[in-house]
Amino acid sequence: MTNVVRVGLLGLGTVGTGVVSIIQRHQEELQHQVGCPVEVRKVLVRNKNKARNIELAKEIVTEDIEEILSNPEIDVVIEVMGGMEQTKEHIARALQAKKHVVTANKDLLAVHGAELLKIAAENGCDLFYEASVAGGIPILRSLSDGLSADRITKMMGIVNGTTNYILTKMSQEGSSYEDVLKQAQELGFAEADPTSDVEGLDAARKMAILASLGFSTEVSFDDVTVRGISAVTEADLHYCEQLGYTMKLIGLAQRDDNRIEVSVQPTLLPTEHPLASVHNEYNAVYVYGEAVGETMFYGPGAGSLPTATAVVSDLVTVMRNMRLGVTGHSVLVPLHEKVLKEANEIEAKHFLRLRVLDKAGTFSTITSLFAEFEVSFEKLLQLPVEGEEVAEVIIITHKTSEENYEKLYQRLTALDVVESVESSYRVEGGN
């Protein structure tokens, strides 16, 4: 039986520092839970001489990856340095050397997760990645353990704190996207290059991981329909509020008869929906199961200690498995073949904002086109634009197929009475 678990840590940035801090400060609790101590034996960094706000013996810090991957004394490799191809190689080598791996790397898992899980299974190793999806929220463990007896039919949630912060401030303060983004960058909520966050790429990678685990299939980043928030305006949010909705960047994974859809896009939610009250940098995931019904997981989606807590929780699971001699049995082979829905199988309601000519016959022309595609109105606002011979028409549709809606949208843009289609968003929830 293992008397001590020795860890090699790849990366000593924000999350890596948090991991070391938790292991150092919570040693008594960790020993109590798994029956043996855990030691950080080696830490890989780019620059050994860089000043850091964590105390580590000089001999522990290294710039040489071989001191971890080729070290027979290292039992578990924790990867928190990010990156893709080189990091994939490091993790694959660690698993092939019979070292267990814990990672927070959502980009890597969304693209190469199935391959790495296969390598882990072949070598009798554990590969855990709880921190890759929602920081401190234990959503993956809840799906694989707590809800393992149920059949998950839908997961939807806010899985990117940066975009949620931006949309919260735009809605509450009436500020422009550009002004709030700049504020978020100054506060450290957004990167200097915010593309991955604001264009939905970060959330899409997380949804690919969630869908793969929740639906027991292999969903990749390329399977996710993605749209970001950079085109959202103050006017859009104002009209959403008038109609009783709140806008969030929502990741959605839905399964119907083993045919799935996965998307990330700005989405309107009724103001009474639980996700509508998730503000600022917080994350939340709503899970629908056939047996349990509806559950929601809420908490901080990023940050040093919340994310590090998820990493160390995975480490505790590895340590327990090592002590029990059951490592390598947690890797689940996908049960279902991936079958993505076609456009005619995806149904949703939509928000549509038009600028139209303010004259007799305009509304009749528009309603006739909607009737042609069998799309009906759930809610409607028509407001004249002061000083212009145009009006704004805001519509919430009833459910229709994506195929029908796309055809309707294209025809609307070509109508003589429609000056412009200002915006269009998906709507979730409500009757």
Residues 88 and 197 in one domain: no
pLDDT for residue 220 is more than 60 = yes
Give pTM, 2 decimals. Answer: 0.89
CA-angle at 421, arms to 340 and 431, nearest 5°? 55
Residues 308 and 295 in one domain: no
**Chain center to CA of 79:** 19
Residue 336 lies in a domain: no
Which CATH number belongs to the domain containing residue 380 in this structure?
A: 3.30.70.260
Average pLDDT over residues 203-226: 93
Backbone φ and ψ for 167, nearest 5 degrees, come out as: -65, -35
* pLDDT tens digits along 276-326: 999 998 999 999 999 989 999 998 876 678 889 999 999 999 999 998 888
Residue 383 lies in a domain: yes
pLDDT for residue 430 is more than 80 = no
Residues 290 and 157 in one domain: yes
- The residues annotated as belonging to the active site are 206
Which CATH number belongs to the domain containing residue 219 in this structure?
A: 3.30.360.10
Q: Which pair of structure tokens corresponds to residue 50? A: 């860089």
Residues 158 and 70 in one domain: no
Instruction: Give the range among 12-26, 174-188, 253-267, 326-340 with minimum mean pLDDT.
Output: 326-340
Residue 330 lies in a domain: no
Residues 248 and 364 in one domain: no
DSSP 334-381: P-S---BPPGGG-EEEEEEEEEEE-STTHHHHHHHHHHHTT--EEEEE
Give me the pLDDT at residue 2, please. Answer: 66
Give me the pLDDT at residue 335, please. Answer: 78
Give me the pLDDT at residue 191, please. Answer: 84
Give me the pLDDT at residue 393, please. Answer: 95
Residues 398 and 364 in one domain: yes
* pLDDT tens digits along 12-59: 998 999 999 999 999 999 888 888 899 999 999 999 888 888 889 999
* pLDDT tens digits along 337-353: 899 999 999 999 999 99
Last residue of a domain, one of 265, 300, 335: 300
pLDDT for residue 385 is more than 90 = no
Give me the pLDDT at residue 166, please. Answer: 95
Residues 255 and 145 in one domain: yes
Residues 285 and 153 in one domain: yes
Residue 201 lies in a domain: yes
Residue 334 lies in a domain: no
Residues 231 and 195 in one domain: yes
Round to whole Å and give the CA distance between 206 and 191. 18
* pLDDT tens digits along 386-411: 888 899 999 999 999 999 999 999 99
Residue 335 lies in a domain: no
Which CATH number belongs to the domain containing residue 311 in this structure?
A: 3.40.50.720
Backbone CA torsion sign across 188, 191, 192, 194: negative
| pLDDT bucket at 159, cuts 50 / 70 / 90 | very high
Residues 15 and 109 in one domain: yes
pLDDT for residue 332 is more than 70 = no
Give me the pLDDT at residue 103, please. Answer: 95
Q: Is 404 helix (H, G, I), strand (E, B) or coil?
A: helix
Residue 329 lies in a domain: no
Residues 172 and 146 in one domain: yes
Residue 331 lies in a domain: no
Last residue of a domain, one of 247, 265, 300: 300
Residues 255 and 358 in one domain: no
Q: Is 294 helix (H, G, I), strand (E, B) or coil?
A: strand
Instruction: Give the range among 8-12, 46-50, 142-146, 323-327 with minimum mean pLDDT.
Output: 142-146
Q: What percent of the chain has pLDDT over 90?
A: 72
| pLDDT bucket at 130, cuts 50 / 70 / 90 | confident
Give me the pLDDT at residue 333, please. Answer: 67
Round to whole Å and give the CA distance between 157 and 141. 16
Give me the pLDDT at residue 260, please. Answer: 97
Q: What percent of the chain has pLDDT over 70?
A: 98
Overall domain count for the chain: 3
Entry field: residues in the chain: 431
* pLDDT tens digits along 68-109: 999 999 999 999 999 999 999 999 999 999 999 999 999 999
Mean pLDDT across the chain: 92
User: 377 lies in which domain range?
Assistant: 344-427
